[in-house]
Chains A and B, each alone.
Chain A
Amino acid sequence: MTQSSQSSSTNPTFVGQRSLSGRIPSWRLWVPLLFQTSVILAAPAVPFYTVMTGKSIVLQTVPVDPYDFLRGYSQTLSYDISSLDTLRRLPGWKQLLKQQAGGKSINVPPPAPSSEYLVSGTRFYVILEAPASNKSSSPKPWKPVRVSSDRPAYLPDNQIALKGKSTGNSIEYGLETYYMPENRRDEINNDISQARGGKQRQPIVMEVKVDTLGRAVPISFWVSDRNYRF
């Protein structure tokens, strides 16, 4: 409290004098600027790699709020394989639950209802298989065939492993957000309501790239035979 007044009274030459500027070398700008640029580029680096090297697959999706598909310029999507109900029927689910319990400390027993529930934060892989044939105009979605806690070392050509993470009541794959242009919102909205409102409900499918580590990036989506890519 008293220190500041002391130091200022002994240092009156401080007045208007903090002239650091003028002699500052240029590297003092360029080093942090380079660092900031790498921070900007770091986030898209992995998705970029995935897009470049990944394999294209197709997933069945539904908008989270079916009455208002495009509320903003981004849409939250939920996939068939996001739901626990879909995954529970797959082979490998029981082992996954067992492993989840085994990873916990020994002295505390796992809660009783957990046989149907995946602890939030658990990571695992969903193995998907390509559809048998594809004659229609819009691509057919891939089907989940099993789940596994480890990434399979070998998979046939028509299968791929997609990494997911449990949030407790659903599964995230990093594919949940898709950004779209605001000015085409109405057009896409109409398309979707037509596709979903007709007699035979047309599927909405998402084209996704998956790399060898199971990381995925959304590429485009199909509403009946129309492709939207942003």
Chain B
Amino acid sequence: MVSDKFRRQLRQEAELWQAEGLIDTDLYEQLSERYQFNTLDTAARDRFVMILLGLGSVLIGLGIITFVAANWQELPRNGKVTLLLSLFIGVNTAGFYLWRQPKGAQHRLGHGLLLLGSLILGANMGLMGQMFHISGQFYELLLAWGIGVLAMAYSLRLTSLSVVAIIIIGLGYWGFWGDYVGQGWSETLAGEEFSWSSQMGQHMPLISGLMFVPLAYWCRSRAIFGLAAIAVISSLLANLYPLSWGWFSFRSTGLLLAIAFALPPALLWAYDDSLWVYGDFYSSNRQPQPLATTGSFQPLSRSLSLAFLGVVLYLLSSFFFWRILSTDYSGDQPRNLNWLPLVDALILSGLAIFEWLRLAWLSRRIRDRSDSLITTIAIGIFISLVAAIPIWHLSFTPIPELATLIFNVLLFLFAGGLMRAGLAQGERQPFWGGMVLVTLRIVTWFVLIETGLVLKSLLFILCGVVVIAVGLWFERYVRTLSIKH
């Protein structure tokens, strides 16, 4: 999508060129057609109207939910069911047929109504439960509601509905997690019944990947892909958590810790969508080809991987963390461990290993992209160390001092690499990411270290000055870069 700002500038320039006789009216018309100059003036207004409509829909939706909660008892039960279902179907149908119109006010109103319809779905479900005095769990309602919205998002290919669905399912998952983590879900129960919602909660890492990642490609939305990645990773970590204080003693959780720290960045870094973006899984040369109908999400996936790795390195670089790990912990030993949540971690690990083997295999053929190959090798080494050292520390000999030292070195190498990459590509994000990481680490040191306040303040000021100087220099460097371009 070309930005409005660019089109506005282009129109201004094109008008100037036309006035100066640089281009003729024909060419101007062609430019105007191609970049849709005529929609420019209405674009901002349309967006404002869209926001108002969206806000209005949300408010009406909340109003309806409150109305439901106010418990209207006067109608007979059948009447209530009929009324609610017809409201639900009516709003969705009206929304769909308006939205199907070509772009314009009706299209936007329809979009708003479809969003409203997805909220009415939840309100209807709540009311049905109320009418039949169902004392079920709230997270079950959320999960079922989210799946319903997801079906509509897939069918209509709507990013907005997809985001709503992911948020609702996410809330449902955390509700489930909160409920079960207290009750020891890591145990299998003798007389327990098979319930769809607990299965869904226990396998959320896989299920959310299967549900949301194809949707991102279908809707061509980076937002959906980002949310999907967060859903997979966060539910994976959350599902591993109860196991770590359950049947395992803290000493033997090295493997779990390694999975939790190393699997997400490994999975995200080696993520490859060339098969469904370019139709060529063995492609090492990812130039956009005619087949490419949608952008690749690989760059986004790699950015998320780096962000995760940065947080993990920061965590592991503190002595405090390793000292906590060294303390022996033996809590209650549940009678029967539920291994099911580990299945997802194993499947995802298998996927990550496959991705990395593929990367290694592809690298044999690559001659010209040595820079990216070196980056991948470096990331691979980082991830291996993130996995290996906790296992060593927890399963063999505790090495708190050595581990702290290693991870501090890794953290500074990582931050330096990020800053270097940012400089090389003239991009702010990785550069500032590296800066923040280093600064945070140094600040943490100073806060924890026991020295005089005067010295501390001096060091703080010094660091601040250095950071500002480097930042200013970089910003100027980027500006000269973009001018040269």
Instruction: Identify the closest chain A residue to B430 (Cβ).
Output: A1
Q: Counting CB contacts under 8 A, is A43 at the interface?
A: yes
What A residues does B71 contact at CB under 8 A? 73, 179-182
**Nearest CB on A from B155, distance (A):** 4
Other-chain residue from B73, B288, B299, B333 in contact with A108 (beta carbon distance below 8 A): B333
Q: Chain A contact residues: over half helix, strand or loop, or mixed? A: mixed
Q: A2, B425: Cβ atoms under 8 Å?
A: yes
Q: How far is the CA of A74 from the CA of B73 in the complex (A)?
A: 13
A42 vs B130: C-alpha distance in the bound complex, in angstroms? 14
* Bitwise interface map of B from 427 to 445 toward A, beta carbon under 8 Å scored 1, else 0: 1010000000000000000
Chain A proximity of B248: nearest CB distance (Å): 14
Bound complex: CA A121 to CA B121 (Å): 30
| Chain A nearest CB, measured from B29 CB (Å) | 15
Given A2-B299, A43-B144, A44-B129, A16 contacting B190 (CB threshold 8 A)? no
Decide yes or no: A7 and B288 within 8 Å by CB, A29-B156, A110-B335 being known contacts. yes
Rounded to whole Å, the gap between the CB of B120 and the closest CB of chain A is 10
A residues sitting closer than 8 Å to B (CB atoms) are 1-4, 6-8, 10, 12-16, 19-22, 24, 26, 28-29, 31-33, 35-37, 39-44, 47-48, 51, 73-74, 99-100, 102-105, 108, 110-111, 119-124, 149, 165, 168, 172, 174-184, 217-218, 230
Q: Does B21 touch A at the CB level, under 8 Å?
A: no
Flag if A100 contacts B190 (CB, 8 Å).
yes
A175→B35 contact, CB < 8 A? no
Number of interchain pairs (Cβ within 8 Å):
182
Report the minimum CB–CB distance from B146 to chain A (whole Å).
10
Tell me the smallest distance from the CB of B218 to a CB of chain A, in Å.
Answer: 11
Q: Closest CB-CB distance, B44 to chain A, in whole Å?
A: 14
Interface segment among B91-99, B231-239, B254-262: the answer is B91-99
Whether A108 pairs with B2 at a CB distance below 8 angstroms is: no
- Across the interface, do A177 and B152 meet the contact criterion of CB distance under 8 Å? no
Q: Is B148 an interface residue (CB 8 A)?
A: yes
Specify which of B128, B133, B189, B190 is in contact with A178 (CB 8 Å cutoff): B133
Partner of A47, one of B73, B132, B151, B298: B132
B295 touches A7 (CB 8 A): yes
> How many residues belonging to B are interface residues under a CB distance threshold of 8 Å?
69
A179-B133, A181-B71, A218-B133 are known contacts. Are A36 and B151 too (CB-CB below 8 A)?
Answer: yes
Asked if residues B288 and A149 are in contact (CB atoms below 8 Å), the reply is no
A174–B7 alpha-carbon span in the complex (Å): 61
Is the beta-carbon distance between A15 and B36 smaller than 8 angstroms?
yes
Bound CA span A8–B3, Å: 10
Residues of A within 8 A of B145 (CB): 39
Are A16 and B39 touching (Cβ within 8 A)? Answer: yes
**Can you list 5 residue pairs at the A/B interface with Cβ under 8 Å?**
A3-B286, A15-B35, A26-B96, A40-B88, A218-B133
Q: Is B463 an interface residue (CB 8 A)?
A: no
| Contacting pair A120 B102 (CB below 8 A) | no
In contact, A13 and B102 (Cβ under 8 angstroms): no
Report chain B residues within 8 Å CB of A176.
Answer: 135
CB distance from B434 to the nearest CB of A (A): 15
CA–CA, A180 and B69, complex, Å: 11
User: What 1/0 flags go to B86-108 for Cβ under 8 Å of A?
Assistant: 00110011001001111100010
* Pairwise interchain contact A41-B128, C-beta atoms closer than 8 A: yes
B132 and A44 contacting across the interface, CB-CB below 8 Å: yes
| CB of B154 closer than 8 Å to a CB of A | yes
* Contacting pair B128 A177 (CB below 8 A): no
Q: Tell me the bound Cα distance from A110 to B187 in angstroms.
A: 13
Q: Which residues of A contact B1 (CB under 8 A)?
A: 8, 14-15
Docked complex Cα distance between A41 and B84 (Å): 11
Selected contact of A8 from candidates B2, B125, B144, B299, CB within 8 Å: B2
Complex A-B, nearest 3 residue pairs according to Cβ-Cβ distance, in ascending order: A103-B190, A177-B135, A121-B189
Q: Determine the residue in chain B with the shortest Cβ distance to A163.
A: B193
Q: Is the CB of B295 within 8 A of A16?
A: no
Give the chain A neighbours of B70 by CB distance below 8 A.
73, 182
B192 within 8 A of A: yes
